[in-house]
Amino acid sequence: MTNLALVCFALVGSGAGQSKYLQAGPIQVGEIAGPAQVRAGESTEYLLSVQGSYDNPFDPKQIDVEAVIESDGQTVLRRPAFFAEDFERRLVDGKEVVQSIGKRGWRVRVNFPAAKSYRMTIVAKDRSGTATSKPFNVSVSNPSPTNPGFIRVAPDQKFFQYENGKPYFPVGSNVCWGGDAGVFNFESWLPKYAQQGCNYFRVWLSPTWTTFGMESKGSKTDGKGPGFLSLEAAFKLDRVMELAQTHQLRVKLCFESYNVLRDKDAYPAWEDSVYNRDNGGPLVAPHQFWRDPDAQRMYRNKMRYLVARYGADPNVFAWEFWNEADLTRDFPAEEAREWHREMGGYLRSIDAYKHLITTSFSNAMGVRAIDTIPEIDFIQTHHYGGPDVISQVAIQQSRKGGWNKPHYVGEIGADFTGPRASDDPEGLQIHDPLWISTCMGSSGAAMPWWWDSHIEPFNLYPLFGALARFVKDIDFPNEGFRQTTPKFAWQSPAQSVALRDLTVPSAAGVWEDSPLHKPKTVVINKDGKPVSGAPIASFFHGRRNHPSWSNPVTIQVDLPRKTRFDVVVGDVSGYGGARLEIQLDNQVVMTRDFSDPDDNSKTDSLTSYRGAYGFDVSAGKHTIVVRNTGNDWFEASLRFKNLQQTLTPPLIGWGTVGDSVVLAWARLADRTWKRVCENKETIPACPPSILTMSGLAAGTYETEIWDTWKGAAIQSQTIRVGLDGVLRVRLPEMDRDFAVKAVLKQ
């Protein structure tokens, strides 16, 4: 047999069916079609004429097509080419319908780095040999003065900047898929973000049910199954990238989501995963992924294709390996660390434009052993729930902000099970994270979830605009921002003592063995302050499903006055419900059954039991025990009404001090999402107060107090800071929150 005949036999001789992309012929490269005069810094596409022998154009071992770009006799750039197909889109009965128009072939996208002359040659290899095109000459002029280039980590290692040195502070949202209308929804949504001054969004490329799912199970006769990628999804993503360019939005492309390696609960997609052996993949069980060479080869090939198709586009902000990698079944942290190192090295080797690389975890704590490896350029936090949605924003920025990498909150919401939009029509779960993250020195504003079921139907886009106007023209990388904690005092010395509720501090839930899943005793002194035992768990576990996690809380308290004790219940497990039992001084005084009518049949969390369950407690010493005697968990916080006396205003604040700019955000301390949106409480306004921040350079500061909901300054003050470095800002009566921006006059 000839070499070509052997190749053809290898491609079509099996009984697995013939690939829709099957080609059988000698390797040949024809003319390059595309512009010969372009600007530097812009992605330019060239059509290629390539023939060869292959049945999978996404496997470089079968066919590898590359552009070699030279200047002054030196190779300056190598760009992998990609296989593509042309489609057309229509909206039919509210659904996006995509149909092929029959044009397939090879293309390459190049972003020429500088103004000069280049020579481009296409080199194609298949199993039969190598072919090379005639050189194609390209004359490149200077980049557009409005093109800032690709995004990099700034020299301070805390923020981002463009290649031209201008700061990039991401403000935007997750916009990960488009639902039934697909890209037509993006055409509606993205301009609304841009109109508000946003500059960022995130897109998922997996699982198959997302708009841009790149892989799906099926037959290679349909162009599906392990090793094959969706040209239809890539065509739709092309349109979204065009929209990003039009509206000056940068995009984080997330390659893979945990679902494809999860076989039950939490939106599993293992049954449909191309990694699953039942679908022709290499794995018997999800946890094998991290060390399996065939699974790694599939992942590398997908990355290579995406780098080839989108790597030349400066509107790609970053590549993201995983959405919440730790939710994959039986997640092996050590193996995953080595996997991230290997894949990070490979990705850097094929991406000539050096896009930033990241990954993400569902646990707000992250996985430090992975977050801190050199192959990860910046760190994220994902967080949902808790009595105050912003708690983990503050904790993780204080913690991860010291890891010598940029950090921002990549996902946040009040409840991972749904948007709770009817509870939160104003978008408090979006607003508060935006402002605390910015005023604590995060490298970008916190990014909300629920873009399609909360932001869009309630037109919450102006929340982003308010923040975008506040941060406009701040040179974040060059300010040397340092976290600080504002302090508050009354403007009037005759102000009466304030009474505040005490909520026992709690920690975010974890779904593994933890000290939080043990009985705890919290001691509260007469001043209404926890002196030992906190934090407690935010989830109380029952006796059936996780008996070893049963975690009753005992509170020992000496009350200075009569007060009310509440167990504020959130969601209840859909795996059998729960049962609340409260003891007061060794007597059971309250029980509530949170029954699950179908036990384990339907497992969605139960929301009908949300609310406060409590009773009045007399002054003096008491012991209160809260336990769950039911089947599974309920979420709750523990609260004493009007227990704490304070001589300072009932405010809480966060701030960051730079060399010439100071930012702060102050809020009514009790105006948490749970109290305002879930419990429908009205938090009393705070009379005029004074905000104090220290650590400033001496000088005169133009200071603005901002209405964060309207996105405008409502007061301006010129304030002199002396050698003590203390800034004192007089705040008007506060019924929600204010932001402060002080700029040192030159």
- Binned at pLDDT 50, 70 and 90, residue 16 comes out as low
With tokens 């939005």, the residue in question is 249
Tens of pLDDT, residue by residue over 217-262, are 999 999 999 999 999 999 999 999 999 999 999 999 999 999 999 9
Pick the CATH number of 151-480 from 3.20.20.70, 3.20.20.80, 3.30.70.580, 3.40.50.300: 3.20.20.80
Which amino acid belongs to residue 433? P
pLDDT score of 512 = 82
3-state secondary structure at position 325: helix
Identify the CA nearest to 324 among candidates 410, 430, 408, 447.
410
Is 601 exposed, middle or buried (CB count within 10 Å of its CB: 0-12, 13-18, 19+)? exposed
Give CA torsion, residues 728, 734, 739, 741, to 10 deg. Answer: -30
Contact 239, 89 (CB under 8 A): yes
CATH architecture of 484-495+648-744: Sandwich (2.60)
Which amino acid belongs to residue 689? S
Where in 464-549 does DSSP place strands (E)?
Answer: 482-484, 487-490, 498-503, 506-507, 520-524, 530-532, 536-537, 539-540
Identify the CA nearest to 203 among candidates 216, 190, 194.
190
Where in 214-363 does DSSP place strands (E)?
Answer: 250-257, 316-323, 356-358
Identify the CA nearest to 168 among candidates 306, 354, 318.
318
pLDDT score of 3 = 45
The mean pLDDT value for 4-19 works out to: 50
Entry field: residues in the chain: 746
Q: Is the pLDDT of residue 429 over 80?
A: yes
The mean pLDDT value for 407-417 works out to: 95
Identify the CA nearest to 146 among candidates 38, 238, 251, 41.
41
pTM given for the model: 0.89
- Binned at pLDDT 50, 70 and 90, residue 495 comes out as low
Is 517 exposed, middle or buried (CB count within 10 Å of its CB: 0-12, 13-18, 19+)? buried
Which amino acid belongs to residue 280? G
With tokens 């190192």, the residue in question is 341
Backbone φ and ψ of 486, nearest 5°: -65, 150
DSSP 384-410: E-SSSTTHHHHHHHHHHTTSSS-EEEE
Which amino acid belongs to residue 638? L
Calculate the alpha carbon distances from 738 to 203, 299, 390, 719, 731 in Å: 32, 47, 16, 18, 8
Q: For the structural domain made of 3-141, what CATH number should be given?
A: 2.60.40.10
Q: Is the pLDDT of residue 475 over 80?
A: yes
CA terminus-to-terminus distance, the chain? 81
Contact 643, 528 (CB under 8 A): yes
- Binned at pLDDT 50, 70 and 90, residue 496 comes out as low
- Binned at pLDDT 50, 70 and 90, residue 349 comes out as very high
Q: Is the pLDDT of residue 13 over 60?
A: no
CATH architecture of 498-646: Sandwich (2.60)
pLDDT score of 494 = 63
Tens of pLDDT, residue by residue over 498-551, are 788 888 988 877 778 889 999 999 999 877 777 788 899 999 999 999 999 999
Tens of pLDDT, residue by residue over 664-692, are 999 999 999 989 998 898 999 999 999 99
Cα separation, 733 vs 616, in Å, equals 32
pLDDT score of 600 = 77
* Residue 666 CA from chain centroid, whole number: 25
Preceding amide of 515 cis, omega within 30 = no
Backbone φ and ψ of 398, nearest 5°: -65, -35
Is 238 exposed, middle or buried (CB count within 10 Å of its CB: 0-12, 13-18, 19+)? middle
Contact 102, 77 (CB under 8 A): no
Cα separation, 558 vs 89, in Å, equals 68
Identify the CA nearest to 577 among candidates 612, 551, 549, 601.
601
Q: Is the pLDDT of residue 290 over 70?
A: yes
Least confident of 357-371, 497-511, 598-612: 497-511
729 sits in which H/E element: strand 727-731
- Binned at pLDDT 50, 70 and 90, residue 198 comes out as very high
The mean pLDDT value for 457-463 works out to: 98
Least confident of 144-148, 603-607, 711-715: 603-607
Contact 732, 705 (CB under 8 A): yes
Calculate the alpha carbon distances from 216 to 180, 230, 280, 345, 683 in Å: 18, 8, 11, 26, 50
Range list for CATH 2.60.120 in the chain: 498-646
Mean pLDDT of the chain: 94
Q: Is the pLDDT of residue 9 over 80?
A: no
Range list for CATH 2.60.40.10 in the chain: 3-141
pLDDT score of 466 = 98
Helices 183-195, 231-246: crossing angle, 10 deg rounding: 20
